[in-house]
Amino acid sequence: MLRSSIPLAVGLALSAAAAIAASPSALDLPQIGEPADNTLSPIEEKKLGGRVMSEIYRTGYTLEDPELSNYISRIGWSLVSHSQTPPPPDMTFFVVGDPRINAFALPGGYIGFNAGLLLAADNESELAGVMGHELAHVTQRHIARTAQDTEVASVATWLAVIAAIIAGSADPDVVMGALSVGQALNYQRQVSYTRAHEQEADRIGIQTMAAAGFDPHAMASFFQKIEQKSRLYGSGLPEILRTHPLSSNRVAEAQVRADEMPVVVPEPSLEFNLMKARARVLTADRPSQAVDYYHAQIAAGHDTPENRYGLALAQSEFGQSAKALATLQPLLESHPRQPNIELLQGLMLMQSGKTEQGLGVLQQTIARFPRYAPAILGYAEGLMAAGRPEDARQTLISHEQALGTQLKTYSLLAQAARESGDLAEASFQMANFLYRRGDAGNALAHLDAGLRLPDLSDQDRARLIAMRNEIRGSLPENWRPQTDRSRVATPVMALQ
């Protein structure tokens, strides 16, 4: 998680500093009206974002939970559908396993949200406000425009800048200045321009969230609330305020813009509350901490669905399946047909040894919610645990369209094929999984292993070769496997 990403940010920053120092040209801001494509095209943005994402996956920075991922993506795509400026067609929304409050946009349509953002939000509109702000950074191509401003198009440099933002090790408003010491950068003009980006993201984000049915006042009120809490408790400035600095004028302008929008009063979201509890449990240092937290909440008279779900999930994570089922029972009665609650029940039944009963609940959840990807994945995992890998594979294949961008699909398909004895299929699906996560080297290694299998059919061989050619064709001509690259003394390769 976060601690593992900090060395990455430091390494990237050092590499980038060396790259900048090697360039004698001074950095200056161009005219705002110049097209960002002159410096960083959409294709280059996508490649750069993909490289950063591969590092994020490699360092274990993401929280790859299907239910949280599905929830964040659902809100994200709702905002995308109401954006007046089309974003990249293949947007990726992902959750970061960090309890600090932050969110960030990467080049090419990748947007990350710390789990701590869910914990700090009081309602879905506050979460959507931050998401709308980050989406505006993407649609307005602020990273490409900042690259244009500073005339720094080096991949190493931008990996450093983005990694610093992600790790919270530097303020992105000044990181360009920090990385270009001695380059005669006009610091005040740089900060003013990035503040302009923030104001633009506020304005467009408020319009988008209001159009999507969220309360447009929630963006300004959320940032203001976080800032007030940090002052009251003296806990230091939250990461989201370091990476998205506020001013009284900026908050006031956001409130004025929200006042101009139609009044929106969204319905309370049970799923938001359940996912908030899920984020708390999955980012706790130990399951026992989450158990103690939710026990205390309920003992204090706050027996809400959020707290009861959180306690049941924490007990399940702690291995207390019987207690977890008892804790969850009132929720099953008060909220029947709620997919997250049903899923938890099914998985806990499996965990407690009631395999057939658990599979029945999971299958029932799919029948009720046939396009809910976490239910499909949960049922497939249950079938795998029950020793039915071929049934798991058929479940995943028959629901392929509903699974969307859930990368876990490919790892489960690989596991099911391996347990069924189809090693060629296992190699293909694992390569698919790794390649989609940006790990081309290991993807090619799995394909090569598959091609060495004895008695490989002509069809399987052709399929593996076709994927190998596709992956190899997407890489630079001078690309070499990980073991060889480690000996190359270049700024980017030195940090791998």
Task: Please check the confidence at residue 385 and state whether its pLDDT lies above 70.
Answer: yes
Domain boundary, last residue among 235, 259, 283: 259
Of the candidates 395, 450, 397, which has an alpha carbon nearest to the alpha carbon of residue 428? 450
Asked whether residue 98 carries a pLDDT value surpassing 70, the answer given is: yes
Q: What is the pLDDT at residue 11?
A: 35
Measured between its terminal Cα atoms, the distance across the chain in Å is: 17
Label residue 7 by pLDDT band (50, 70, 90). very low
Higher pLDDT, 103 or 31: 103
Structural domain includes residue 210: yes
Query: Which range (66-75, 212-221, 446-455) has the least confidence?
Result: 212-221
Instruction: Report, as an integer, the average pLDDT of 466-470.
Output: 95
- The rounded percent of the chain whose pLDDT value lies above 90 is 47
pLDDT value at position 9? 38
Nearest to 340, CA basis, from 75, 117, 70: 70
CA of 16: how far to CAs of 39, 186, 247, 426, in Å? Answer: 17, 19, 30, 39
Q: What is the pLDDT of residue 158?
A: 55
CB 258 within 8 A of CB 220: yes
User: Looking at the domain assignment, is residue 384 inside a domain?
Assistant: no
Check residue 100 and give its pLDDT: 82
* Residue 349 domain flag: no
Whether 190 maps to a domain, the answer reads yes
Segment 340-365, tens digit of pLDDT: 999 999 999 999 999 999 999 999 99
- Given a cut of 90, whether residue 237 has pLDDT beyond it is no
Q: What is residue 328's predicted lDDT score, i.e. its pLDDT? A: 97
In a domain, 300, yes or no: no
Strands 92-96 and 103-106: unpaired
Say if 31 falls within a structural domain. yes
Q: Residue 105 phi/psi, 5° resolution?
A: -115, 135
**What backbone phi and psi angles, to 5 degrees, belong to 85?**
-110, 120
Structure confidence at residue 28 (pLDDT):
30
Instruction: Please state the domain count of the chain.
Output: 2
372 dihedral zone (left: phi>0; alpha: psi -120 to 50; beta) = beta
If one compares 62 and 298, the residue with the highest pLDDT of the two is 298
Asked if residue 1 lies in contact with residue 98, where contact means CB atoms within 8 angstroms, the answer is yes
pLDDT of residue 260: 82
Give a yes or no: residue 275 inside a domain: no
Q: Given this model, what pLDDT does residue 242 score?
A: 53
Helix axes 339-351, 355-368, angle to 10 degrees: 160
From 202, 234, 259, the end of a domain falls on 259
Range of the domain at 134: 2-259
pTM: 0.80
* Average of per-residue pLDDT values in the chain: 78
Mean pLDDT, residues 177-206 taken together: 55
In a domain, 196, yes or no: yes
Is residue 77 over pLDDT 90? yes
Choose one of 244, 259, 274: the last residue of a domain.
259
